[in-house]
Structure 1
Amino acid sequence: MEKKSLITVLGPTASGKTAFAAQLAYTLDGEIVSADSRQIYRRMDIGTGKDLSEYNVEGSSIPYHLIDIREPGEKYTLFDYQHDFHKTYRDILGRDKTPILCGGTGLYIESVLKGYNLPDVPPNPGLRLALDQKSLEELTDILQSYRPLHNTTDTDSKKRAIRAIEIEEHKSRQKSSATTFPAVNSILLGLDIDRELRRQKITARLHARLQEGMIEEVRSILDSGVSPEDLIYYGLEYKFVTLHVTGKLSYEEMFRQLEIAIHQFAKRQMTWFRGMERRGFFIHWIDATLPMEQKLHLAHFFTGKKS
């Protein structure tokens, strides 16, 4: 049986993944590899919930990776993530440390564990220029001419829609160059949280983040030259707070719509993780409300590792 050299900690937003993974890393001489599609961006701290203070455990700083590696507005693809993950993963193993993949972006996690074979689609400046003149509705129609739209993620903003069309156009015209990444055998630990409790924690955390300065954070990023559309592209907090800052939504409208969007996002995360189980992954679910000591005890049991 292939040795499982990776531990994966997953769960929906507000389940306490970061604190748990950091504590686990402390007991196993491990390092955290983020699987969060927005925490890669610098200065997007409050809205993405980096909670960097949680990487300090018992006076020790737990090393973390793939956080703060890009500037807001820069494009970062799933292909980029796979490349960066494997480079980091090999480095951690080469230093005889325990790599712990932690996050809530199911696509990132599954792409790494399964070894997705993805096309490396280069930018097409001419196509982008032509598409930029079109409305989001027109871009949606164009994308639908290539393939059915099973969700609205690719048409959440013009930037997303243009990139999706760019990929489809590339695929239709030539055989894409592709890099094969190996699958990674991992033990999966999931933090399970009751839906109603999750909703309460999401609402409380949203209030806290707004008080901590999330609106000021968005305003500062916009003032640095990042366009509103580029921030809206990242969705959730950055979409709705940007709409508020630019005068499109009142504070009350922003809060209400954002709260609903985060609840829906958490539900989609759990749908993805349940889908992973149907696709053959075995997830050891741990009650998120257990005391940390008990959660760590179960993690050590499931992984066969001792602190």
Structure 2
Amino acid sequence: MNIQNSKYDLITILGPTASGKTTLGVALTHALDGEIISADSRQIYRGMDLGTGKDLEEYTIEGKTVPYHLIDIVDAGYKYNVFEYQRDFLKAYEGIVSRSNPVILCGGTGLYLESILKGYRLLPVPENKELRDSLASYSLEELTEKLKAYKELHNSTDVDTCKRAIRAIEIEEYYLTQPADERSFPKLNSLIIGVDIDRELRRSKISKRLKQRLDEGMIQEVEALLETGISAGDLIYYGLEYKFLTLYCIGKLTYDEMFEQLETAIHQFAKRQMTWFRGMERKGFTIHWIDAKLPTNDKLEEIYKLL
């Protein structure tokens, strides 16, 4: 199967956490002799491995490592954003195309996926000190309600902390007066594949994977990041595993509280991811859903038929 003979510029594999999208994306990339671009907002950070579920060993099939991009590209502690992602995606995409290789975009960060598939460039938003100062005394609940006045909240990582909520409001306020430039990002025609996983199976896999990663040293990973001088606040900013494990490491949560709250947060996150993907469908994106329980080869056959 050769994607160059199809009508598509790239293939997108998306799905909620623990759906098996990376396994499928890597298998497809290997089968097509292509290269994979990650669409995960946290796997870009070096040293954040277990908590982000990089599973880099999955990228080697039959002794051959599938070329991957936008993983481990910036240091932990940095505040990477969607504007930088669009820039870095284009650089990676153009490089892959220049090598005449198929491009597979794979991940679960809806904002990153949509920023590529929509076909317009987002503008970097400068800091608005006056706005930030005016919001400084607001509670997280008040900021959340204020942000809801601007947009529907598909992705609650925007309101994970007051700092992130204020930044999200700052961005929305900026776009009220500065519409995005629609001319400078290429319109890419993508076949979009969604990995459809049953809710109970997803919950079971999330819980099993969390226990496994804790056994593999996820707490030690967070401790090591703190020891390098990254502040607890900066790690908490990344949400989910890094939020709750950091709170445990600095003594704000017991182990049992950390585990219970983190497990619940990951389940909620997976649900929000599906809400985002359904929202994409309502906006006109066609997502071809493939049953997560199918063997990988059967999934690949489904994709070949669509191509």
TM-score (norm 2): 0.89
**Which residue in 2 is equivalent to 1:67?**
71
CA distance in 2, matches of 1:252, 1:138: 25
**Which residue in 1 is equivalent to 2:19?**
15
CA distance in 2, matches of 1:268, 1:142: 16
* 1:140/1:161 contact within 8 Å kept: no
Give 1:135 deviation, angstroms: 4.7
User: Residues 251 and 10 (structure 1 numbering): CA distance in 2 closer, same or farther, change over 3 Å?
Assistant: same
**Which residue in 2 is equivalent to 1:298?**
302
AA partner of residue 241 (structure 2): E
SS in 2 for 1:198: helix
Q: Map Cα deviations across residues 154-196 of structure 1 (whole Å, 9 max, x no partner).
A: 3322331342344356456x64784731221100111111110
SS in 2 for 1:32: strand
Structural mapping, 1:1-307, within 5 Å: 3-123=7-127, 130=133, 134-135=136-137, 137=139, 140-141=142-143, 144=146, 147-148=149-150, 150-151=152-153, 152-168=156-172, 170-171=174-175, 175=178, 178=181, 180-303=184-307
Q: Map Cα deviations across residues 119-144 of structure 1 (whole Å, 9 max, x no partner).
A: 222346x5599579x45618955993
Q: Which runs of 5+ in 1 are unaligned?
A: none
User: Residues 293 and 137 (structure 1 numbering): CA distance in 2 closer, same or farther, change over 3 Å?
Assistant: same
Give 1:293 deviation, angstroms: 1.6
Q: Map Cα deviations across residues 193-239 of structure 1 (whole Å, 9 max, x no partner).
A: 11101110000000000001000101111111111111111111111
AA partner of residue 284 (structure 1): H
AA partner of residue 217 (structure 1): E
Deviates more, 1:189-198 or 1:147-156: 147-156
AA partner of residue 73 (structure 1): G
* 2:26/2:36 contact within 8 Å kept: yes
AA partner of residue 66 (structure 2): I
SS in 1 for 2:46: coil
AA partner of residue 104 (structure 1): G
CA distance in 1, matches of 2:272, 2:173: 28
CA distance in 1, matches of 2:12, 2:70: 15
* 2:140/2:159 contact within 8 Å kept: no
* 1:136/1:161 contact within 8 Å kept: no
TM-score (norm 1): 0.89
Task: State, as a whole percentage, how many aligned pairs show the same letter.
Answer: 58
Aligned length: 299
SS in 1 for 2:18: coil
**Which residue in 1 is equivalent to 2:3?**
none
* 1:139/1:162 contact within 8 Å kept: no
Give 1:278 deviation, angstroms: 1.9
CA distance in 1, matches of 2:106, 2:199: 21
* 1:143/1:165 contact within 8 Å kept: no
CA distance in 2, matches of 1:222, 1:244: 12
CA distance in 1, matches of 2:179, 2:89: 22
SS in 2 for 1:274: helix
Cα RMSD (Å): 2.5
User: Residues 169 and 9 (structure 1 numbering): CA distance in 2 closer, same or farther, change over 3 Å?
Assistant: closer
Give 1:301 deviation, angstroms: 1.6
Q: Map Cα deviations across residues 52-82 of structure 1 (whole Å, 9 max, x no partner).
A: 0000001101000000111112111111111
User: Residues 74 and 128 (structure 1 numbering): CA distance in 2 closer, same or farther, change over 3 Å?
Assistant: farther
* 2:147/2:169 contact within 8 Å kept: no
Give 1:267 deviation, angstroms: 0.9
Deviates more, 1:156-165 or 1:255-264: 156-165
* 1:120/1:176 contact within 8 Å kept: no
* 1:78/1:108 contact within 8 Å kept: yes
